[in-house]
Chain A
């Protein structure tokens, strides 16, 4: 069953519902008729090629861009958001712990001087660091951490305000395969343990197949949405990309292989390298 039908009101476990959302930027229609719903504890992959509108859609859901059609409803309690390509410079005077602390109260004016509130903040920070397995490098300067470690800290930062919806823009970009697997596993665990609905964008479906409950595919300004098993199929993906894409199962994992384009080589090579490293 596809997830196209949006509940009239947000159900108790629905954290985000889009209906017929359209976006125009610089006079160009970027997205049209995007509808899907996301529930607490679910992980949805927002998949599409570069320029398909993934970042735009995430910004619209966060509220940084206004849609010009359709409705967006979000559960109360705010949104955790990690933008694309967050560059944490080595000279940033922030420990990993300080970044998570900014997730607690970074938007507030003034200083936090009350010891009670400082203790409360510290407790939340420690909890979030533990939730993303980052306690070991909590005291390190955040700019000196690896890409995967930084992504963990940014996720902890986004979770610190206890949102019910977590939006991650290309959290796997520039990660090596091991870090990618770690972050993906973490995202699945965070969704279950923290009870948040996670929507994360990626240009490649492969790393996410193991963790996704739902896919939102963007191509040609439109979206195909549904459970992973229904959308991650040869016919659907082929239609979406406009070229032949095979979905095959290897060792219990779904492997997506573009069969004809140059991309296909990249995918196959990546896959070969991945299995080579895993064994």
Chain B
């Protein structure tokens, strides 16, 4: 199929599409860069927790008549603070605490969304956009906020990325070099809270983790250098988001017709496809030396 056939007419001249491409691209880069460290620090559960409690903040913001992004950010910062405190003091209780808080948070989200739908029945799509994202309805006023938050998260990672690599070798090794583990962990959680909030705004609170860890996991299969891993993860993330937006736009003409399929579905599906594709060649390459060794024996 030609490129012209793939890209439906009006794609690039459509205002919401342009805004979605811009913010989606920026958010994909931020989540990929933060996500590399999420994978290295084995904190994807923390990322998932922040995304899910985001539904509470997002729905509360919706009820208050504020853009859900600010709800996502506020609750993620609170939750990140809680994770930091609980995680340091009582590592054994962390899973239990996270589970209880998550349950309570989602319960509150259900209540807020119900109250919101009762008070303003016209906006019935709010729950869908909070849970599954709203990349096509991001207003122009939000674009600059999203870009600013993204720049902030990237700056935090630039500040402590190298120290996090040292910590990933061994925490004691990093501490022996004067790295303050708690400070670095707190800065990272701040960046994570921002990244997850941005991902929640674009592809949805419950799907944020996919964008956070999928592209980095793919990139870590493909390259062995830290700088390249960041670039590769960003490219995979941007590709998934942009292709997802394109396919969603195209799906307007697909059955059951008359509506676009959700962008988030395409993004998450593409993230998974890229991850699976990255598994294949690596395995074959690794098998070869072993086969050769067997041949020699």
Residues of A within 8 A of B (CB): 59, 62-64, 78-79, 81-83, 86-88, 91-95, 98-99, 102, 105-111, 140-141, 154, 157, 161
- Closest partner residue, chain B, to A139 (CB atom): B224
Min Cβ gap A92→B in Å is 7
Min Cβ gap A237→B in Å is 30
Contact yes or no, B168 A92, CB < 8 A? yes
Given contacts A86-B169, A91-B220, A92-B168, contact A106 B226 (CB under 8 A): no
Q: Interface 1/0s, chain B 218-260, versus A by CB < 8 A? A: 0111011110110000000000000000000000000000000
Min Cβ gap B59→A in Å is 36
Contact yes or no, A92 B162, CB < 8 A? no
Interface locus among B12-20, B107-115, B132-140, B170-178 = B170-178
Given contacts A59-B172, A64-B172, contact A106 B159 (CB under 8 A): no
Contact yes or no, B225 A106, CB < 8 A? no
B179 at the A interface (CB under 8 A): yes
Q: Determine the distance from Cα of A81 to Cα of B170 in the docked complex, in whole angstroms.
A: 11
Which of B36, B39, B165, B173 is the most central at the interface, judged by chain A CB atoms within 10 Å of its CB? Answer: B173
Q: Determine the distance from Cα of A31 to Cα of B125 in the docked complex, in whole angstroms.
A: 66
| Contacts A106-B177, A107-B179 supplied; 17 other A-B pairs, CB < 8 Å | A63-B176, A83-B170, A83-B173, A83-B176, A93-B219, A93-B223, A93-B224, A93-B225, A94-B226, A95-B224, A102-B165, A102-B169, A105-B162, A107-B166, A109-B162, A110-B159, A140-B224
- When distances are taken between beta carbons in the complex, the residues of chain A under 8 Å from B160 are 109
Q: Determine the distance from Cα of A29 to Cα of B174 in the docked complex, in whole angstroms.
A: 27
Q: List 9 A-B contacts (CB under 8 A).
A: A63-B176, A83-B172, A86-B173, A93-B40, A95-B225, A107-B174, A109-B160, A109-B162, A111-B161
Contact yes or no, A88 B176, CB < 8 A? no
Contact yes or no, B159 A109, CB < 8 A? yes
Which 8 A/B pairs are nearest by Cβ-Cβ distance? Answer: A106-B166, A141-B224, A93-B229, A107-B177, A81-B176, A83-B172, A62-B176, A91-B220
- When distances are taken between beta carbons in the complex, the residues of chain A under 8 Å from B219 are 93
Q: Determine the distance from Cα of A98 to Cα of B228 in the docked complex, in whole angstroms.
A: 12
- Closest partner residue, chain A, to B166 (CB atom): A106
B94 at the A interface (CB under 8 A): no
Report, as a range, how many residues of chain B touch the other chain. 20 to 34
B158 at the A interface (CB under 8 A): yes
Which of B36, B166, B178 is the most central at the interface, judged by chain A CB atoms within 10 Å of its CB? Answer: B166
Min Cβ gap A113→B in Å is 10
- When distances are taken between beta carbons in the complex, the residues of chain A under 8 Å from B223 are 93
Contact yes or no, B166 A110, CB < 8 A? no
Contact yes or no, B163 A107, CB < 8 A? yes
Q: Determine the distance from Cα of A86 to Cα of B172 in the docked complex, in whole angstroms.
A: 10
Residues of B within 8 A of A (CB): 36, 39-40, 158-163, 165-166, 168-170, 172-179, 219-221, 223-226, 228-229
Partner of A98, one of B158, B174, B226: B226
Contact yes or no, A106 B176, CB < 8 A? no
- When distances are taken between beta carbons in the complex, the residues of chain B under 8 Å from A62 are 172, 176
Q: Determine the distance from Cα of A93 to Cα of B161 in the docked complex, in whole angstroms.
A: 13
- Closest partner residue, chain B, to A62 (CB atom): B176
- Closest partner residue, chain A, to B226 (CB atom): A93
Given contacts A94-B224, A107-B179, contact A81 B168 (CB under 8 A): no
Q: Determine the distance from Cα of A59 to Cα of B173 in the docked complex, in whole angstroms.
A: 10
- Closest partner residue, chain B, to A107 (CB atom): B177
Q: Determine the distance from Cα of A59 to Cα of B170 in the docked complex, in whole angstroms.
A: 13
Partner of A161, one of B165, B168, B177: B177
- When distances are taken between beta carbons in the complex, the residues of chain B under 8 Å from A106 are 162-163, 165-166, 174, 177, 179
- When distances are taken between beta carbons in the complex, the residues of chain A under 8 Å from B40 are 92-93
Q: Determine the distance from Cα of A220 to Cα of B202 in the docked complex, in whole angstroms.
A: 61
Contact yes or no, B224 A110, CB < 8 A? no
Min Cβ gap A232→B in Å is 29
- Closest partner residue, chain B, to A167 (CB atom): B176
Partner of B162, one of A59, A63, A87, A108: A108
- When distances are taken between beta carbons in the complex, the residues of chain A under 8 Å from B229 are 93
- Closest partner residue, chain A, to B178 (CB atom): A107
- When distances are taken between beta carbons in the complex, the residues of chain A under 8 Å from B170 are 83, 86-87
Q: Determine the distance from Cα of A157 to Cα of B220 in the docked complex, in whole angstroms.
A: 22
